[in-house]
Amino acid sequence: MEKQTTVRGHAAAGVTILIWGTTFISTKVLLREFTPIEILFIRFLMGYLVLWLVYPRKLALASRRQEWYFAAAGLTGIALYYLLENIALTYTLASNVGVIISIAPFFTAVFSWIFLGGDRPGKRFLSGFVIAMGGIALISFSSEAKLAINPLGDILAVAAAVVWAAYSTITKKVSAFGYHVIQATRRTFFYGLIFMIPVILASDFKISLGQVTQLKNMGNLLFLGVGASAICFVTWNFGVKILGPVKTSVYIYMVPVITAVTSAIILGERIPGASVLGILMTLAGLLLSEGRSKKIEIGSEKGTGLSESGTP
């Protein structure tokens, strides 16, 4: 029975990463007809409504101070992170974004050390960081067409990784409140949607029913809204519960591999040899960094179910 449970935990983590690793592709397809903010708003509105249907219970906060943490989580992890990611996809390859975003655990570890009193990153961690950054440089500079005209997409992807690290640090604070995972996540989604409003008002936000109901668009929007935004946190939570945060977090490093492969198959993006080497170096660096003190990881077991060291 225990073995079967462990297998289910690995399966849950694997399915989550498979979905998260392909969200870049789905977003890139939608960017042909929607703006980044339009995709972002529709995606999380869908996720928010689904979470209400799954767990229709209102969250009563113990103090007003806690509201600021949920607002900060919504601003960083939903509004800023995904907006930066979506805009990055308009400038660079989906495979680039997939790999670069995966450096978020590095910044998460640094922020945990500075703001949460976690262990200071050691030599093993720093060595892994250097190797991964070298891999990212190879990936960025091997894209001849993109490099020549605009490396902005890669820079925005790095910024998104830093913002996600800030979000992860905030969710560790939120996890101490002890609220139901669905309620806490839904509250974060709510504030993320609120913080999107200024961007919507300042942009040419126009969504027609015809756009949304097109079969291709609807399929991708449902995939992002229901699958990647409302379901994945449940399967990831299950994996963490069974395997623990340390083993589960290892799966996050498969994201760039899945993204690169699917972008080549679905979008027809060519992956140069240097990019392949860069992917391997990045994965090696990230895995090497896993040798840092596990106090940071173990401390997240009481989390809200939002990924502490990875990305959706």
Number of neighbours of residue 8 by Cβ within 10 angstroms: 14
φ, ψ of residue 116 in degrees (nearest 5): -115, 5
CA 289, CA 311: separation in Å to the nearest integer?
A: 17
217-233 pLDDT per residue, tens: 999 999 999 999 888 87
145-204 pLDDT per residue, tens: 444 335 788 889 889 989 988 887 887 778 778 888 888 889 999 999 999 999 999 988
CA 119, CA 294: separation in Å to the nearest integer?
A: 9
Mean of pLDDT over the chain: 79
φ, ψ of residue 50 in degrees (nearest 5): -65, -40
Question: Which are the contacts of 275, defined by CB distance < 8 A and separation ≥ 6?
Answer: 95, 138, 139, 142, 143, 260
pLDDT recorded at residue 308: 35
- The mean pLDDT value for 203-212 works out to 88
Q: Is the pLDDT of residue 140 over 60?
A: yes
253-299 pLDDT per residue, tens: 677 777 777 777 876 777 778 878 888 887 888 778 755 444 444 34
The pTM score is 0.77
**Nearest-CA neighbor of 155 among 141, 145, 170, 169?**
141
CA 209, CA 293: separation in Å to the nearest integer?
A: 51
CA 34, CA 216: separation in Å to the nearest integer?
A: 12
Q: Is the pLDDT of residue 61 over 90?
A: yes
**Nearest-CA neighbor of 130 among 285, 277, 283?**
285
